[in-house]
């Protein structure tokens, strides 16, 4: 074990955009960048997510190797997938957003690129009813699987169910 | 009854024995279950099963106001409640463009670091328990008790505090905290040294931990590992240094980094972090800025439209809150990123192929808390 | 003597032995809790009687009074008999331990051999418990304990043989008498170390408590047991601890010597035994546990060669001394 002390330089989002933009163009991914409170968002088409992620992950200069989390947000008319990536090498963070159809959401799995996405995708799938394509093991993760609907969708009703108390059968 | 069991057995592959660890098992740290396929003493495959502590906190958040939701944050990682609170409050403050006054920031750092020490002391005890030594557990809890007493003076609570508020802290720090901490600061290093003599230098303990569960850093990036687990493998990454929050850039502290990436390195990193946290708390208490302990925030918190992701260095790794606001009293969507979730995700990768005893130790070295994993 | 008097005498011995080991086990459990407590900045039991000495008595009464649960699906015969059988070796070994000059229940020529052989029998009970419980943890625990006892029996026997060679007898009383001039811990220090390690493994004590590894297989072979059956396992563990420590005191620490008076001898012998027990408990409260492969390696690759070397060296030296003396 060694003990170190280090300073990190502050990063500018314009550098990130400048680095990603040409590479995405050559890969044929249309990226729309936006900034909010020093965070970099990039919006891409849902078909490109796997391509874009593997570009970000495998490119030696970008090396977005770390996945913070992925989740979805239900905006009723559409569902938005959110991927939050981080690059250790450059101390860059980006948040990728992908719009999915609200009625029949389908998206490619990034599990083969980011292995840590496995459970996050399983959780998103069961909470939002998103069909994750090519996921190796899309079982229920947190839920038991007996609820009607998808809990984190906006149309999911929270039911307060009065359960009748059933006394345990007397032990012989 | 017996026949049923035999029918079930017929469905299993004959070569390996399937053993169910948990949900109630002494070393799964809560209600975590994993089904291990074992070949003699060696684990072939692990299938983790989680969700026993799932409380739907993310859904609850959508139906509560920002302030109402805050007490629930403590219940995520219940060994490091103040770290969770700090992260949540920072996220809401970022949405609302508020910054806590310097005094509040210093108090928050004190809270977070003391809580880190408390959480790492539990890890110290649990690690001893996992390797079969019972005494470290009691030693760890004994010192944690002192910290909890300090918390009781500060926040009135011992496990779930609700102390850090949006815009500052709930009440000002009391002068007795400093006297108590100084006493603790004087006694604790001596005790820590004694504990390390007892367990860290123990030949059997080193034998059990060294070269067990070696994880390479390239793998860990992909798995989304963070915190001491990541640093144990030699990655110089600490959110307190990388994206300083709450005035961490003002304090002088070092980052311990492992070289080998095994369980022993993760253990040493955590033990060193205890010492570094003590340094930070001492600095913060010595140079406590004067002024307000909170800014004025509106009674009903309605952040403007937008979305933020704020992360901080929790006791086990990266805690993050992703909040989508539509300008209502309630968050539109709130996603909690917890380190335990990512770490248990990679349990199969890290532990299969090892002995049963090693798998337990590897799980222990991630220092997972099921409350934060299941949410 | 007529036949009934022999029978009565034997029964009386058995009753005395049984009572003694029962009380010893209770004292040892109390002692462990107290010692461990003080080592962990606690106080241990302190409410019933002075320093809580009645605590274990009440605990045992509670355990004996509990409902006898036999889970469905267990192998009934082995499940029920395993806790009874585990007491047999302890009880039998106990009968041959000399406490002082002439204070021994049954004195036979090969009592050391007999005690060691009988101690090995407790494997059967543990395996029965492990197999009969119909529980995977229990099965793992049973198999682990069988492997463990098997591999540590050998170094234990060989290290005891060094003492036998030096004293020229297998009778425990004779061995003690042969230590008149020097306790065998001095010439047989290596043997004592091996005997200590092997006997710690034999009684499943830390750092060799792999069969009942609490953090891995919960409690090993006694997971499914409750009530008085569990109490039997629990007490037997402590009785074995006492027997092993008593054996070590007899073989290496000169038993009741230097006192030949029966009263002082017994007291001194017990003091030596309890000192050894204290050391075992000290180890118990400070040491972590080995992993199974490290443990097997230690047994077969360290202890066994070491004990063989010790035996060889002892043999050579004994021969040379005999030659020198001209025997």
Three-state secondary structure readout of C103-117: ECCCCCCCHHHHHHH
| Cis before B255? omega within 30 | no
Q: Could you please report the per-residue DSSP string of C218-253?
A: TTGGGTT--HHHHHHHHHHHHHHHHHHHHHHHHHHS
Cβ-based contacts of B355 with chain C (< 8 Å): 291-293
Does A60 touch chain B if contact means CB atoms closer than 8 Å? Answer: no
Q: Which residue, among B32, B60, B63, B221, would best test binding to A if mutated, counting the most A CBs under 10 Å from its CB?
A: B221
Lowest mean pLDDT among B56-65, C23-32, C185-194, C211-220: C211-220
Q: Is the pLDDT of residue B97 over 70?
A: yes
CB atoms within 10 A of CB A38: 13
| Between C49 and B332, residue with greater pLDDT | B332
Give dist(CA C245, CA C252) in Å, integer: 10
Closest by CA position to C280, among listed C198, C177, C191: C198
Task: Output the domain CATH number for residue A93.
Answer: 3.30.460.80
Q: How far is CA C67 from CA B24, B149, C63, C70, C223, in A?
A: 23, 42, 9, 9, 16
ipTM rounded to 2 decimals:
0.84
Residue A22 to residue B165: CA distance in whole angstroms: 44
Provide the domain limits for residue B86. 57-374
Q: What confidence category does residue B231 fall into, taking pLDDT thresholds of 50, 70 and 90?
A: confident
3-state helix, strand, coil in chain C (%, to 5): 70, 0, 25
CA gap B42, B359 in Å, rounded: 9
The bridge status of strand A32-36 relative to strand A39-44 is: antiparallel
The shortest CB-CB distance from C39 to any of B135, B199, B357 is to: B135
Q: Residue C170, SS3? A: coil
Asked if the model's pLDDT at residue B26 lies above 80, the reply is no
In a domain? residue A143: no
**How many Cβ atoms are within 10 Å of B197's Cβ, its own excluded?**
10
Q: B356, C217: Cβ pair inside 8 Å? A: yes
**Cβ–Cβ gap C289/B26 under 8 Å:** no
Range of the domain at C215: 3-325
- Within 13 Å of residue B89, how many CA atoms lie on the same side as its CB? 29
- pLDDT per position as a tens digit, C103-129: 776 778 888 888 888 888 888 888 888
Q: Is residue B246 part of a domain?
A: yes
Residue A11: CB partners within 8 Å, gap ≥ 6?
A90, A91, A92
Q: Give me the mean pLDDT over the B29-45 stretch.
A: 84
In a domain, A90, yes or no: yes
pLDDT at B4: 54
The residue segments making up the domain with residue A46 are 13-133
Q: Judge whether A4 lies within some domain.
A: no
pLDDT for A172 beyond 70: no
Distance from CA of B188 to the nearest CA of C (A): 15
Residue B234, classed as helix, strand or coil, is coil
User: A69 by DSSP, 3-state: which?
Assistant: strand
From B129's Cα to the closest Cα of chain C, the distance in A is 7
Answer yes or no: is B19 within a domain.
no
By the 8 A CB rule, do A66 and B224 touch?
A: yes
In this structure, are residues B233 and B258 in contact, taking their beta carbons and an 8 Å threshold?
Answer: yes
Q: Give the model confidence (pLDDT) of A54-97 as tens digits.
A: 888 888 788 888 888 888 888 888 888 898 888 887 788 888 88
B1, pLDDT greater than 60: no
> Please, what is the Cα angle at B168 between B167 and B169, to 5 degrees?
140
At residue B37, the 3 state secondary structure works out as: strand
The residue that leads in pLDDT, C14 or B76, is B76
Q: Do the beta carbons of residue C145 and residue C220 sit within 8 Å? A: yes
pLDDT tens profile B239-295: 888 888 888 888 888 888 888 888 898 898 998 889 889 989 888 888 888 888 888
Number of domains into which chain B is organized: 1
In a domain, B16, yes or no: no
| pLDDT tier, B2 (very low <50, low <70, confident <90, very high otherwise) | very low
The reported pLDDT for the residue numbered C227 is 82
Q: Determine the 3-state secondary structure of B336 from DSSP.
A: strand
H-only helix segments in B156-243: 175-195, 203-209, 217-223, 227-232, 239-242
User: Quick check: do B and C touch, 3+ CB pairs under 8 A?
Assistant: yes
Distance CA B91, CA B89 (A): 5
* Interchain contact, C215 vs B26, CB within 8 Å: yes
Per-residue pLDDT at C278: 92
In a domain, A33, yes or no: yes
pLDDT of residue C275: 92
Of B17, B204, B358, the CB nearest to C287: B204
Verify cis geometry, omega within 30 degrees of 0, for the bond prior to C207. yes
Number of structural domains in chain A: 1
What CA–CA distance (Å, rounded) separates C190 from C159?
Answer: 8
Q: Which of B41, B282, B325 is nearest to C136 (CA)?
A: B41
Percent of chain B with pLDDT over 90: 2
User: Distance of alpha carbon C213 from its chain centroid, rounded?
Assistant: 19
Question: Is-contact B218 A114, C-beta < 8 A?
Answer: no
Buried b (16+ CB within 10 A) or exposed e, A113-127: bbbbbbbbbbbbbbb
- CA B163, B167, B171, B175 torsion: positive or negative? positive
Calpha distance B115→A99 (Å, rounded): 40
Asked if C212 and C62 touch (Cβ cutoff 8 Å), the reply is: no
Q: How many angstroms separate the CA atoms of B164 and B83, rounded?
A: 9
- Cross-chain Cβ contact B208/C137 below 8 Å: no
Query: For residue A132, what is the enclosing H or E element?
Result: strand A131-133
Average pLDDT, chain C: 85
Touching, A vs C (3+ Cβ pairs under 8 A):
no
| Contact residues, C window 201-240, toward B, CB-based 8 Å cutoff | 206-207, 209, 213-218
Does residue C311 register a pLDDT over 60? Answer: yes
> Any residues with CB less than 8 A from the CB of B309 and at least 6 apart, and which?
A39, A68, A84, A93, A95, B91, B320, B321, B322
Over 80: is that where the pLDDT of C174 sits? yes
- CB within 8 Å of B5: residues ≥ 6 apart: C73, C134
Q: How many domains does chain C have?
A: 1
Q: State the average pLDDT over residues C143-151.
A: 85
Q: What is the pLDDT of residue B177?
A: 86
Would you say residue A159 lies in a domain? no
Mean pLDDT to the nearest integer, B31-35: 87
pLDDT of B238 > 50? The answer is yes
Whether a cis peptide bond, with omega within 30° of 0, leads into B339 is no
Residue closest to A129 by CA, chosen among A51, A57, A74, A56: A74
Q: Round to whole Å and give the CA distance between C86 and C229.
A: 10
Compute the count of residue pairs across chains A and B with CB atoms less than 8 Å apart: 119
Tell me which H or E stretch contains B333.
Answer: strand B333-337
HEC string of C298-310 equals HHHHHHHHHHHHH
Which of the 8 DSSP states describes residue C211?
Answer: G
- Averaged pLDDT for residues A138-149: 80
Share of chain C above pLDDT 90, in %: 2
DSSP-derived letter for residue B249 is: G
CA C55, distance to chain mean position in Å, is: 23
Provide the terminal-to-terminal Cα distance of chain B, rounded to the nearest Å.
36
Residue B114 domain-assigned (yes or no)? yes
Rounded alpha-carbon distances, angstroms, from residue B171 to B154, B180, C29, C275? 8, 18, 50, 56
Comparing CA positions, the residue from C277, C141, C140 lying closest to residue C209 is C141
Q: Give the C-alpha separation, B366 to C2, whole Å.
A: 72
In terms of Cα–Cα distance, which of B4, A61, A27 is closest to C134?
B4
Residues 6+ apart with CB under 8 A from C47: C55
**How far are the Cα atoms of A81, B125, B222 from residue A49, in angstroms, in the given order?**
10, 44, 17
Cβ-defined contact of B255 to A5 (cutoff 8 Å): yes
Beta strands in B94-181 (DSSP E): 164-165, 168-169
Shortest Cα distance from B206 to chain C (angstroms)?
Answer: 10
How would you classify the pairing of strands B33-39 and B42-49? antiparallel
Cβ(A16)–Cβ(A31) below 8 Å: no
List of residues 6+ apart from C6 with CB closer than 8 A: none
Instruction: Report pLDDT digits (tens) over A109-131.
Output: 888 888 888 888 888 888 888 88
Burial of A27 (0-12, 13-18, 19+ CB in 10 A): middle
**Can the peptide bond before residue B167 be classed as cis, meaning omega within 30 degrees of 0?**
no
Tell me: pLDDT of B194 over 50.
yes
Does any domain span residue A116? Answer: yes
**Domain membership flag for residue B287:** yes
Judge whether residue B123 has pLDDT over 80. Answer: yes
**Alpha-carbon gap, residue C221 to C218, rounded angstroms:** 9
Q: Looking at the domain assignment, is residue B30 inside a domain?
A: no
- The alpha-carbon gap from B148 to the nearest alpha carbon of chain C, in Å, equals 18
Instruction: Tell me, yes or no, whether A166 lies in a domain.
Output: no
Q: Can you tell me the distance from the alpha carbon of C293 to that of A40, in angstroms, rounded to the nearest whole number?
A: 52
Is the pLDDT at C187 greater than 50? The verdict is: yes
Q: Three-class SS of residue B235?
A: coil
Q: What is the CATH number of the domain that holds B334?
A: 1.10.645.10
Residue B367 domain flag: yes
C73-91 pLDDT, tens per residue? 888 888 888 888 888 888 8
């Amino acid at each position: 074990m060694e003990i170190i002390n280090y300073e990190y330089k502050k990063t500018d989002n314009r550098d990130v955009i400048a680095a990603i933009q040409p590479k995405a163009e050559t890969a044929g991914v249309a990226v729309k960048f936006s900034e909010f409170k020093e965070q970099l968002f990039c919006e891409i088409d849902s078909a490109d997510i796997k391509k874009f992620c593997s570009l970000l992950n495998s490119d030696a200069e970008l090396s977005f190797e770390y996945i913070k989390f992925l989740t979805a947000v239900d905006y009723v008319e559409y569902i938005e997938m959110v991927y939050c990536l981080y690059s250790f090498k450059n101390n860059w963070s980006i948040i990728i957003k992908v719009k999915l159809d609200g009625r029949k959401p389908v998206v490619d799995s990034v599990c083969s690129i980011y292995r840590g996405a496995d459970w996050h995708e399983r959780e998103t799938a069961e909470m939002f009813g998103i069909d994750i394509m090519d996921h190796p093991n899309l079982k229920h993760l947190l839920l038991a699987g007996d609820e009607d609907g998808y809990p984190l969708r906006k149309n999911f009703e929270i039911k307060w169910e009065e359960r009748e108390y059933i006394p345990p059968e007397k032990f012989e | 009854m017996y026949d049923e069991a035999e029918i079930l057995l017929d469905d299993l592959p004959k070569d390996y024995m399937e053993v169910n660890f948990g949900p109630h098992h002494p070393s799964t740290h809560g209600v975590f279950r994993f089904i291990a396929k074992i070949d003699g003493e060696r684990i072939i495959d692990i299938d983790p099963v989680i969700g026993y502590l799932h409380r739907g906190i993310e859904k609850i958040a959508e139906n509560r106001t920002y302030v109402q939701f805050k007490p629930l944050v403590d219940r995520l990682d219940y060994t490091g409640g103040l770290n969770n609170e700090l992260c949540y409050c920072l996220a809401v403050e970022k949405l609302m463009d508020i910054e806590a006054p310097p005094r509040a920031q210093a108090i928050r750092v004190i809270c977070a670091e003391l809580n880190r020490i408390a959480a790492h002391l539990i890890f110290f005890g649990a690690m001893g328990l996992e390797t079969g030594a019972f005494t470290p557990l009691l030693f760890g809890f004994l010192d944690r008790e002192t910290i909890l007493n300090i918390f009781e003076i500060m926040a009135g609570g011992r496990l779930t505090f609700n102390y850090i508020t949006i815009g500052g802290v709930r009440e000002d720090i009391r002068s007795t905290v400093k006297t108590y901490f100084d006493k603790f600061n004087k006694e604790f290093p001596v005790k820590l040294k004694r504990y390390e003599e007892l367990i860290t230098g123990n030949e059997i303990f080193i034998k059990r931990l060294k070269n067990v569960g070696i994880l390479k850093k390239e793998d860990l990036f992909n798995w989304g590992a963070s915190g001491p687990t990541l640093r144990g493998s030699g990655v110089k990454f600490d959110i307190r240094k990388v994206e300083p929050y709450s005035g961490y850039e003002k304090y002088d502290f070092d980052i311990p980094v492992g070289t080998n990436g095994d369980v022993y390195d993760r253990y040493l990193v955590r033990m060193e972090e205890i010492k570094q946290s003590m340094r930070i708390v001492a600095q913060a208490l010595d140079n406590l800025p004067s002024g307000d302990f909170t800014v004025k925030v509106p009674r009903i918190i309605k952040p403007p439209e937008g979305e933020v992701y704020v992360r901080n260095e929790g006791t086990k790794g990266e805690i993050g809150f992703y909040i989508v606001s539509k300008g209502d009293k309630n968050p539109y969507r709130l996603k909690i990123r917890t380190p335990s979730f990512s770490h248990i995700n990679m349990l199969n990768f890290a532990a299969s192929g090892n002995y049963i005893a090693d798998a337990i130790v590897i799980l222990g070295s991630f220092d997972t808390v099921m409350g934060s994993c299941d949410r | 003597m007529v036949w009934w008097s022999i029978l009565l005498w034997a029964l009386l011995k058995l009753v005395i032995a049984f009572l003694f080991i029962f009380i010893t086990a209770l004292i040892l459990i109390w002692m462990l809790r107290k010692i461990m407590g003080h080592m962990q900045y606690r106080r241990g039991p302190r409410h019933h009687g002075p320093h809580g000495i009645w605590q274990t008595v009440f605990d045992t009464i509670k355990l004996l009074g509990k409902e006898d649960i036999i889970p469905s699906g267990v192998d009934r015969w082995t499940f029920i008999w395993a806790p009874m059988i585990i007491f047999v070796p302890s009880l039998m070994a106990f009968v041959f331990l000399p406490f002082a000059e002439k204070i021994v229940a049954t004195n036979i020529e090969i009592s050391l051999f007999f005690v060691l052989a009988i101690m090995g029998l407790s494997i059967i009970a543990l395996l029965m418990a492990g197999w009969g419980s119909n529980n995977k943890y229990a099965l793992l625990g049973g198999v682990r304990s069988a492997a463990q006892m098997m591999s540590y029996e050998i170094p234990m026997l060989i290290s005891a043989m060094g003492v036998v060679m030096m004293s020229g007898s297998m009778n425990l009383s004779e061995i003690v008498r042969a230590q008149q001039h020097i306790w065998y811990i001095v010439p047989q220090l290596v043997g004592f170390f091996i005997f200590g390690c092997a006997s710690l493994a034999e009684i499943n004590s830390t750092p060799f408590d792999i069969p009942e590894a609490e953090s891995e297989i919960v409690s090993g072979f006694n997971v499914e047991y409750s009530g008085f059956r569990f109490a039997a396992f629990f007490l037997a563990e402590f009785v074995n601890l006492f027997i092993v420590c008593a054996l070590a005191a007899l073989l290496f620490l000169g038993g009741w010597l230097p006192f030949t008076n029966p009263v002082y001898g017994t007291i001194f012998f017990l003091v030596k035994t309890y000192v050894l027990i204290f050391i075992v408990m000290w180890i118990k409260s400070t040491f972590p546990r080995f992993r199974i492969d490290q443990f097997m390696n230690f047994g077969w690759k360290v202890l066994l060669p070491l004990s063989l070397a010790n035996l060889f060296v002892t043999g050579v030296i004994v021969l040379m001394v005999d030659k020198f003396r001209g025997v």
